[in-house]
Chains A and B, each alone.
Chain A
Amino acid sequence: MARDDVEARTSKKYVRTFIFSMKTGTPIEKLHVITKFFMIAAMSVLALYMFDIPVLKGDIPIVKGGPDIIGLIFLLTIVFVLLIISGTTKYLANSYLLLALPVPISEFIWWLFLNGGLPGAKEAFYLWPGFFPIGISTVVLVGIFGVVYYRTKSVVIAVIPAVLLWWLTIMAGAFDFSPLATWFKLSIGATYSFMLPSWSPYVALSKALGFAVLIYTSFLFLLTTRDTEIAGAMRQLGLSFKKAFFIALIFRSLNTLLIDYENIRIAQTARAAGVNRKNVFSKIIDLAYVSIPLVATMIRRSTEMGVALYARGFEASKKVTSFKETKGITYMDVTVIAILSIFLIYEVILGHTINHLFIR
Chain B
Amino acid sequence: MPVFEVKDFWWKYRSFVGVENPYTLKGLSFTVEKGEFLGIIGPSGSGKTTLCYALTGIIPKVFTVPYGQEKEHIKGEIKLFGQTLTKLDKVKDEKTGNMVDKVVGMKQTAPRVGLLLQDPENQFLRMDLLHEISFGMELLGLSEGEIESRAKEALELVGLGPLWPIADLVHPSELSGGQKQRAAIASFIALRPEILILDEPTSNLDPEGKLGIIQAIDNIKKEYDITIILVEHNPEVIQKYADKVLAINDGQAIAYGTTEQVYSQCKLFDENGLYSSDIARIGWKAGLSYNGRVPFTVDEMLKSFDGRKQKSLASNLEDDPIDQSSQEIISVKDLNFSYEDGTQALRGVTFSIRQGECVGLIGQNGAGKSTVSKIISGLYKKFQGEAKVNGMDLRDPKVVQKIPCYVGYVFQNPDNQIFMRKVYDEVAYGLKNLKTPQQEVDQRVKEALKSVGLLSKIDEDPMFLGKGEKRRLTVASILAMNPKIMIVDEPTTGQDFRMSEDIMNLLEELNKAATTILAITHDMTLVSEHTKRVIVMHNGTVLYDGSTRGFFSNEELLDKADIIPPMAARFSLEYKKKNPSSPNLINVKEWVTALK
**Is B one of A's binding partners?**
yes
List A residues at the B interface (Cβ < 8 Å): 1, 4-6, 8-9, 12, 15-16, 21, 24, 91, 94, 226-228, 231, 241, 248-249, 251-252, 255-256, 259-260, 263-264, 266-276, 289-290, 292-293, 296-297, 300-301, 304-325
Contact yes or no, A321 B121, CB < 8 A? no
User: What are 12 sample pairs from A and B whose C-beta atoms fall under 8 A apart?
Assistant: A251-B127, A252-B172, A266-B379, A272-B481, A289-B420, A301-B119, A301-B122, A307-B62, A312-B139, A313-B110, A316-B110, A317-B141
Contact yes or no, B115 A311, CB < 8 A? yes
Q: Considering the chains assembled together, what is the distance between the CA atoms of A272 and B477 in angstroms?
A: 11
User: Which of B53-61, B81-89, B210-218, B445-453 participates in binding chain A?
Assistant: B53-61
Most buried by B among A4, A251, A309: A309
Contact yes or no, A317 B139, CB < 8 A? yes
Partner of A271, one of B128, B131, B139, B433: B433
**A274 partner residues in chain B, CB cutoff 8 A:** 401, 404
In the complex, whether B514 has a CB less than 8 A from a CB of chain A is no
Contact yes or no, A228 B62, CB < 8 A? no
Contact yes or no, B138 A248, CB < 8 A? no
**A292 partner residues in chain B, CB cutoff 8 A:** 418-421
Q: Considering the chains assembled together, what is the distance between the CA atoms of A290 and B420 in angstroms?
A: 9
**B147 partner residues in chain A, CB cutoff 8 A:** 321, 323
**B142 partner residues in chain A, CB cutoff 8 A:** 321
Partner of A314, one of B139, B162, B402: B139
Contact yes or no, A310 B62, CB < 8 A? yes
B162 to chain A: closest residue by CB: A8
* Cβ distance B435 to chain A, nearest Cβ, rounded Å: 6
Measured as residues with beta carbon below 8 angstroms from the partner, the interface class of chain B is 35 or more
Tell me the interface secondary structure of chain A in the complex: helix
Contact yes or no, B137 A321, CB < 8 A? yes
In the complex, whether B415 has a CB less than 8 A from a CB of chain A is yes
Total number of residue pairs linking A and B with CB closer than 8 Å: 202
In the complex, whether B411 has a CB less than 8 A from a CB of chain A is yes
* Cβ distance B523 to chain A, nearest Cβ, rounded Å: 21
**B413 partner residues in chain A, CB cutoff 8 A:** 263
A267 to chain B: closest residue by CB: B417
Q: Considering the chains assembled together, what is the distance between the CA atoms of A236 and B111 in angstroms?
A: 28
Contact yes or no, A313 B111, CB < 8 A? yes
Q: Considering the chains assembled together, what is the distance between the CA atoms of A249 and B131 in angstroms?
A: 12
**A317 partner residues in chain B, CB cutoff 8 A:** 139-141
Task: Name 11 extra pairs, CB < 8 A, besides A276-B435, A311-B56.
Answer: A24-B169, A231-B127, A256-B121, A267-B409, A267-B416, A267-B417, A271-B433, A304-B122, A308-B122, A309-B125, A315-B108
Partner of B404, one of A275, A290, A293: A275
**B168 partner residues in chain A, CB cutoff 8 A:** 228, 324
* Cβ distance A358 to chain B, nearest Cβ, rounded Å: 41
Q: Considering the chains assembled together, what is the distance between the CA atoms of A4 and B166 in angstroms?
A: 11
**A5 partner residues in chain B, CB cutoff 8 A:** 164-165
A2 to chain B: closest residue by CB: B165
In the complex, whether B23 has a CB less than 8 A from a CB of chain A is no
Contact yes or no, A227 B127, CB < 8 A? yes
**B596 partner residues in chain A, CB cutoff 8 A:** none
Partner of B131, one of A21, A296, A314, A323: A323
* Cβ distance B183 to chain A, nearest Cβ, rounded Å: 12
**B121 partner residues in chain A, CB cutoff 8 A:** 256, 259, 301
Tell me the chain B residues, 465-520 only, with Cβ under 8 Å from chain A: 477-478, 481
Contact yes or no, A275 B434, CB < 8 A? yes
Given contacts A301-B121, A301-B122, A304-B117, contact A318 B141 (CB under 8 A): yes
* Cβ distance B156 to chain A, nearest Cβ, rounded Å: 13
In the complex, whether B377 has a CB less than 8 A from a CB of chain A is yes
Contact yes or no, B134 A271, CB < 8 A? no
B431 to chain A: closest residue by CB: A272
Q: Considering the chains assembled together, what is the distance between the CA atoms of A252 and B433 in angstroms?
A: 34
Q: Considering the chains assembled together, what is the distance between the CA atoms of A260 and B478 in angstroms?
A: 20
Most buried by B among A249, A270, A301, A324: A270
Contact yes or no, A321 B171, CB < 8 A? no
In the complex, whether B440 has a CB less than 8 A from a CB of chain A is no
Most buried by A among B140, B143, B411, B477: B140
Contact yes or no, A293 B402, CB < 8 A? no
Contact yes or no, B138 A297, CB < 8 A? no
Q: Considering the chains assembled together, what is the distance between the CA atoms of A271 and B481 in angstroms?
A: 8
* Cβ distance B339 to chain A, nearest Cβ, rounded Å: 12
Contact yes or no, A272 B125, CB < 8 A? no
